[in-house]
Amino acid sequence: MRIPSVSLHCTSHAHPPASIANPLGLSYLPSNESSAWDMYLQQIDRVSPFLGDLSRWVDTLRRPKRVLVVDVPIHLDNGRIAHFEGFRVQHNTSRGPGKGGVRVDPRLLSEGELERVTRRYTSEIGVIIGPHKDIPAPDVNTNDRVMAWMMDTYSVNQGTTSTGVVTGKPIALGGSLGRREATGRGVFVVAVEAAKKLGLEIANACVAIQGFGNVGSVAADLFEQAHAHIVAVQDHTGTVYNPDGLNVKTLIAYVAVNGGVFGFKEAQSMDKDAFWDVPCDILVPAALETQITSLNAQRIQARLVVEGANGPTTPQADDILAQRNILVVPDVIANAGGVTVSYFEWVQDFSSFFWNEDEINARLTQTMQAAFASIWQVAQDKRVSLRTAAFIVGCTRILQARALRGLCP
């Protein structure tokens, strides 16, 4: 097996470097639009005028606190030694430990090779992670098994079991009930809250979803349970459409067997680009970054966009959607369900007292509803978008902590 030189990438309160490619190839970024990191910097520029006296600290948000780059050598199954490049970026820890996900394409590795990469990478970054410093978590193409390897490797190196060093672990190793579904559930919760503001009934609403992994499929199932109609789903294999609504549970079962939505017989196949023309009330981009651009924002027919992915909308597209009076619930709030339950998992690990799934879901719903209400109010008071409001809230909290702590030495 030929193993290309791929990078294993972790982020902690930071956007990925611009050099990371789009492995699913779901859309193309126009040359005049921004990378994920540039998008973040543009948001900082937009929020700076609202920070008052804290604006003197704003440059701390434009620079990562720490970037660690490591060599990750492993033995491949064929006997060769391959070298991978590993990163851990800690953007800001003014308010406490960093939190972030591991990224590698497992399709390029056998299970044994993936385990060796994970363990060696964990050993290399072990000097800067820890339950009180920086807590990795699963992201695209990672799962609870990978987190178990990370937790075990860190624990072996420390000489004591440290379940709190990662979240998203298997339940048997201190993972939290409801963690796998948390991001998709959070997307659904904030979609309901945003729909109320628009006077949009979730029951009988038409929903289009890009991405059908843990986030998209869970959100789709919850929308269907609320009697919404999932009219289109797109993933890396194709796009399926049924104006009368897809049977989500049947589609989930089909994807589990076939690896994607392509070929699903209870819907018509659709060209990838035509997904953006689907008539719908709610659009959920839950795949990868920079999917909604100036090339397709004019075509979107939804009243509400709820970002299940990280950075799926470019600033240029944001402005177009705002001009068209399409409400966008930004990623920083819409997909925060996963990190919220990761926090619950971290707390449970320290106390060795675990909540049942109903308690987890109730706490998650309450947290997401309160966060959305807070951001909505800021948006109304400042007359800004929900994205700018979310950045006002988040940046203010971080910079207040930075200002109060001061500089040492």
At 103 the pLDDT is 65
What's the pLDDT score for residue 105?
Answer: 81
Read off the pLDDT of residues 190-247 as tens digits, 9 standing for 90 and up. 999 999 999 999 999 999 999 999 999 999 999 999 999 999 999 999 999 999 999 9
**What is the CA angle 216-217-222, rounded to 5?**
100
Q: Please compute the mean of the pLDDT values over residues 341-348 and round it to a whole number.
A: 95
CA distance 299 to 295: 8
Domains of the chain, with CATH numbers? 7-38+63-173 (3.40.50.10860)
Does residue 382 have an active-site annotation?
Answer: no
CA distance 16 to 330: 17
The stretch 357-370 carries a mean pLDDT of 97
Q: Return the pLDDT at 27.
A: 43
In the predicted structure, residue 12 carries a pLDDT above the cut 60 = no
Q: Is residue 301 a contact partner of residue 277, using CB atoms and an 8 Å limit?
A: yes
What local confidence, expressed as pLDDT, does residue 181 receive?
94
Q: What is the pLDDT of residue 33?
A: 67
Listed in sequence order, the residues at least 6 apart from 332 whose beta carbon sits closer than 8 Å to its beta carbon are: 387, 390, 391, 394
Q: Which residues pair with 49 in a beta bridge?
A: none
Q: Other CB atoms closer than 10 Å to residue 406's CB: what's the count?
A: 6
Q: What is the DSSP letter of 304?
A: E
- What are 70-121's pLDDT values in tens digits? 999 999 999 999 999 999 999 999 999 998 768 678 888 999 999 999 999 9
Going by their DSSP bridges, the two strands 238-241 and 268-270 should be labelled as: antiparallel
Residue type, 396: T
Going by their DSSP bridges, the two strands 81-90 and 66-75 should be labelled as: antiparallel
Each residue of 147-202: pLDDT tens digit? 999 999 999 999 999 999 999 999 999 999 999 999 999 999 999 999 999 999 99
Marked catalytic residue, from 65, 99, 169, 196: 99
Q: Residue 310: what residue type?
A: N
pLDDT at 16 over 80: no
- Residue 69, pLDDT score: 93
Compute the average pLDDT of residues 283-305: 95
